[in-house]
């Protein structure tokens, strides 16, 4: 039988932002409910070595870090419900009963005085079997996260927009050689970024090339190259590389919230500058669902903290924090 759950604060999403929001809310005695979604732990559940999260001298495993956050959230009083929010009635504010009304895939209803949306974003992938198989062996969608592991090595970046060019430039601080693979004969990236890329002697661009397969070798299997197809002639060639960075964009997991709060043209939730308030009073957004720039676990956790603090003030009837 479907249940009805009441809470002062409902957190939607179980990544660094969601867990952090829940931890702060629970410590404020708000007795939060966290609805996990389809992938509890978010993108870190498919991340092996995490070396840039503060507090750990040695690399840690992404799934382990998310398990620790989950346990901490539950320990301080968060109630976790393994469900997926499929419907949300937010845009007109709380209903006559004072609650926002949301519904889960299970049929359960969630009534919350305030809501923190922390459903994250997903990297867009090429859709190759070999790409998926080697995600723990040298295929990545985040140069900031994983570039450090390629010091003195050769890597490939796939894409032609701002993200791809920025990733390639960043990787030159670690790798000896960066190959940029683009299926067209020109970049979509901003001109100033293109100029920086073309001026960098570590970068080589491969125009009119599409990745047919990511090549692996060894036990455990790691990336050893990519097979490329010339999009004009159809000819194939092999390019030896130690790592592959897919930089063709991200998709925010806006789902049922897309038309309930203000979003930009790509679906990212718009929040006030320097805060987490959305266009709907009492609804907050944290993490990658509203951050299209940094997309780091530590920044997601920071905005999760901010969202919980702002939500607490909203419930208490305290005016929003003023900027100084």
DSSP helix, strand, coil percent of the chain (3-state; round to 5): 25, 30, 45
In the set 145, 242, 263, 291, the catalytic residue is 145
Distance CA 287, CA 84 (A): 18
Q: Is 145 a catalytic residue?
A: yes
Query: Quick one: pLDDT at residue 324?
Result: 41
With a CB cutoff of 8 Å and minimum separation 6, the contacts of 39 are 14, 45
In the set 8, 146, 242, 291, the catalytic residue is 146
Task: Give tens-digit pLDDT for 217-260.
Answer: 999 999 999 999 999 999 999 999 999 999 998 899 999 999 99
Task: Give tens-digit pLDDT for 7-51.
Answer: 999 999 999 999 999 999 999 999 999 999 988 887 787 676 788
Mean of the per-residue pLDDT values of the chain? 94
Distance CA 93, CA 101 (A): 10
CA 173 from centre of chain:
23
Alpha helices in 95-240 (DSSP H): 129-133, 143-146, 162-171, 191-198
In the set 49, 89, 108, 142, the catalytic residue is 142
Distance CA 279, CA 263 (A): 9
Q: What is the mean pLDDT of residues 312-321?
A: 79
Residue 193 pLDDT exceeds 80: yes
Residue 323 pLDDT exceeds 50: no
Strand pairing class (79-81; 33-35): parallel
Q: Are 321 and 275 in contact (CB under 8 A)?
A: yes
Q: Is 142 a catalytic residue?
A: yes
Q: What is the mean pLDDT of residues 262-284?
A: 96
């Amino acid at each position: 039988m479907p249940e009805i759950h009441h809470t002062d604060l409902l957190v939607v999403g179980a990544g660094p932002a969601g867990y952090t929001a829940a931890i702060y809310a629970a410590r404020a005695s708000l007795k939060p409910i966290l609805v996990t979604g389809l992938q509890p732990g978010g993108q870190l559940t498919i991340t092996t070595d995490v070396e840039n999260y503060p507090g750990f001298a040695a690399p840690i495993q992404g799934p382990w870090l998310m398990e620790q956050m989950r346990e901490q959230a539950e320990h301080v009083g968060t109630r976790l419900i393994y469900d997926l929010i499929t419907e949300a009635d937010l845009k007109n504010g709380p209903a006559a009963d004072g609650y926002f009304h949301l519904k889960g895939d299970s049929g359960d209803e969630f009534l919350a005085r305030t809501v923190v949306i922390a459903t994250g974003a997903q990297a867009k992938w090429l859709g190759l079997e070999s790409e998926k198989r080697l995600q723990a062996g040298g295929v990545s969608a985040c140069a900031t996260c994983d570039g450090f592991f390629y010091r003195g090595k050769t890597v490939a970046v796939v894409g032609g927009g701002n993200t791809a060019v920025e990733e390639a430039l960043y990787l030159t601080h670690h790798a000896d050689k960066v190959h940029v693979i683009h299926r067209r004969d020109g970049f979509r990236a901003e001109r100033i970024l293109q100029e920086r890329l073309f001026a960098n002697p570590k970068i080589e661009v491969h125009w009119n090339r599409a990745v047919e397969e990511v090549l692996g070798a060894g036990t455990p299997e790691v990336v050893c190259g990519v097979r490329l197809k010339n999009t004009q002639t159809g000819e194939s060639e092999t390019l030896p590389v130690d790592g592959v960075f897919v930089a063709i964009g991200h998709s925010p997991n806006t789902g049922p919230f897309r038309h309930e709060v203000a979003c930009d043209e790509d679906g990212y939730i718009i929040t006030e500058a320097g805060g987490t308030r959305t266009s709907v009073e009492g609804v907050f957004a944290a993490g990658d669902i509203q951050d299209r720039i940094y997309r780091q676990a530590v920044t997601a956790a920071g905005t999760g903290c901010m969202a919980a603090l702002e939500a607490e003030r909203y419930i208490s009837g305290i005016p929003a924090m003023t900027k100084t």
